[in-house]
Chains A and B, each alone.
Chain A
Amino acid sequence: MKLSTRTVFPFLLAALCLVGLPDSGRAQDTEPPPAQLPPEGRVQITVEDNQRAKMRLAYPAPRRPVSASPQLASAADELDATLRNDLRLTGVFSLQGPRELAGLRLSGDRANDFEQYRSLGNEMVLLVETKVDGARLVLEGSLYDLGSREAILRKRYVAGTELARQMAHTLSDEIVLYMTGVRGIARTSLAFTSDRDGDGIKELYLMDYDGYGQRKMSGHRSLSFSPAWAANGEGLAYVSYYSGEGASLYWVDRETGRKSPILEETAQALSPTTSPDGRRIAFARSLRGNLEIFTIDRDGAGLKRLTRSGGIDTNPAWSPRGNQLAFTSSRNGSPQIYVMDLEGKNIRRISFQSKYNDGAAWDPDARYLIYASRTRDGRRFDIVKVDVETGEQATLTAAPGSHEAPTFSPDGRFIAYESDRSGRKQIYIMTADGEPVAQLTNGSSNFGPSWSGYFDE
């Protein structure tokens, strides 16, 4: 955390120079986008037709410097592999790589080569060149429409070799933004809990959205869990038992890595969620064993009680618009999902299908809630998505395995969740309509993900 926040992000901003490529004989790509792309260069990817809407993209092996140090060469390899994985994970493209393109007769003549790519059904080609600038790595990426043979997008980045992955993520995000009109998520990250430190210890960890760069955040050598990012990326709230007073609330600042108590008291404080502006925390606080929802400032001021019921009220989720909380309550006998405003008024029940629902999370447009719903046989949980207005419901996961703790990506196109389908709990991602995408963790038990917002806004 410390390293990534202090050095990588500011450095990235400074080091990645987004410059147009001075292409010989052709002007900058300010001209209108090619014919098959809708106006404003956007392809509308909707949940229903995202399979059909996948663009067929050729991404041949990048051009490389002939003489590069081993360090630069391996950074270029890493960049290529990262970008390829990023583009695959976007779900926007059907990708053809070096292997699929191996049979083509490429001559170096652009018109001929583009025809060759097109002959395999590709609509676009991404040409990438990695170069050396002193000790630094240069990435030049150009996306071409194979119909018009026009460049759609050109980007150039320069950075140290240790930022090879970040350079690839940045280019991928730009391409996704161009194709969908929504920023890509390749530079977001996920906080989660892991028992990899052994001895019954559970620590908070952070990883890149693709599962790389897993690093410890908490280091309390105690029980620490329930990370809850602020959507603005300032930091996250979490629960730790390390003070010896049981479950207390803490905040960790992303920039500095500094941890500070939000609330340390003998009453247990559990299941935090952070307001979109990062200023207030909603959480469950035990009053003689009965959990009620409270809100509190990040510095521990302004404690406010929202619920008053004889049942358990817990696990709140702050809506992305900031004006509502979804939460779990057993007020009617079994745990169900409800929504209320920030005064604890206008309480409305959302879940009806199962006798046990928990772990609500909002999509960034506040249209859907996703949560874990116990199956009818009582043996496992599936992730369920409900339209908050219409009540329309879809089950996104299936056997084998029990799936819980869903969290939306900041673009709303993906869901991360925990599942024990391969034995121990691991973190997976799927599309917002339940198509499997990737397993991000393995080994020890890893669970309870919280997807960050965008960091540089």
Chain B
Amino acid sequence: MSVRRLPFAVLAALLVFSFACNKPVPPEPPVPAPEPVVTPEPPKPVEVTRPEPTPEKDPVIDPLDDDLLIAQQYAEENGLLGTVYFEFDRSELSPAARERLAKNAAFLKENDKFVVTIEGHCDERGTSEYNLALGERRSNAALDYVTELGVPSSRIRTISYGEERGACAESSESCWGKNRRAYFRLTGRN
């Protein structure tokens, strides 16, 4: 900053000095002249482009009508759709899981255009093959509950990934807990 300012100060001092010395020389406009020529040009295109895109689309689109990934993200961020977690080696629904599934079911009933796939997942501690069976149980436990709550089963598919698609890769209790899940994925629209 100070380095930049320095030549300006010097210039100003020089100008004062030159005014003080040569009174009869009045105009030195060629220096400021180019400045206004440069500045008016850029604002014009900016003014032209600004008004066009702003008013039309953004607020109108319901994120739930957007791309499925956007809809998924919106639903998850607003707590409309969420993941259900399970106990080690189990596929029974806990009270917390039922609570979560009730919200998921309400969302799916309200938004009856969505087709959803419930993915069953496991932590890494079982065998690969038996975990595929356990994941299938988990996805279907979630399916049974939301259909009981009135979501037509025709709009739901289930798939088991066993331990093959972990959400978390560490070998720790907290990570295992995150992997023992039934994940609701929006996979289509009717």
Contact = CB atoms under 8 A, between A and B. Distances in A.
Query: Which of A270, A289, A359 has the most B CB atoms < 10 Å from its CB?
Result: A289
Interface of A: 200, 202, 223, 225-226, 241, 246-247, 266, 268, 270-271, 284, 286, 288-291, 312, 314-315, 328, 335, 356, 358-359, 372, 378, 381, 404-405, 447-448
Contacts of B127: 356, 358-359, 372, 381, 404-405
A291 B129 contact: no
Given A289-B137, A291-B136, A223 B129 contact: no
Query: Which of B127, B143, B157, B164 has the most A CB atoms < 10 Å from its CB?
Result: B127
B146 to A, nearest CB: 13
The B interface is mostly helix, strand or loop, or mixed, namely helix
Contact of B136 (A286, A404, A405): A286
Nearest to A200: B165
A14 to B, nearest CB: 40
B141 A356 contact: no
A381 B125 CA distance: 9
Interface string B143-155: 1100000000000
Given A202-B164, A246-B157, A314 B139 contact: no
Contacts of B161: 223
B75 to A, nearest CB: 22
A101 to B, nearest CB: 46
B128 A405 contact: yes
Contacts, number: 86
A266 B154 CA distance: 12
B132 interface: yes
Chain B interface size, as a band, is: 20 to 34
Contacts of B129: 226, 270-271, 314-315, 328, 358-359, 405, 448
Contacts of B144: 288-289
Interface in B69-122: 89
Contacts of B160: 246-247, 268, 270, 286
A399 to B, nearest CB: 15
Given A270-B129, A270-B132, A405-B128, 6 more contacts: A286-B136, A289-B158, A312-B130, A312-B133, A358-B130, A405-B127
A366 to B, nearest CB: 21
A289 B139 contact: yes
Contacts of A284: 133
A225 B128 contact: yes
Nearest to A402: B125
Given A202-B164, A268-B160, A404-B127, A247 B140 contact: no
Contacts of B130: 312, 314-315, 328, 335, 356, 358-359
Given A246-B159, A286-B136, A223 B164 contact: yes
B134 to A, nearest CB: 7
A289 B140 contact: yes
Nearest to A289: B140
22 contacts: A223-B161, A223-B164, A225-B128, A241-B159, A246-B158, A247-B160, A266-B157, A268-B136, A270-B133, A270-B136, A286-B140, A289-B141, A290-B140, A312-B134, A312-B137, A315-B130, A328-B129, A358-B129, A359-B130, A381-B127, A447-B128, A448-B128
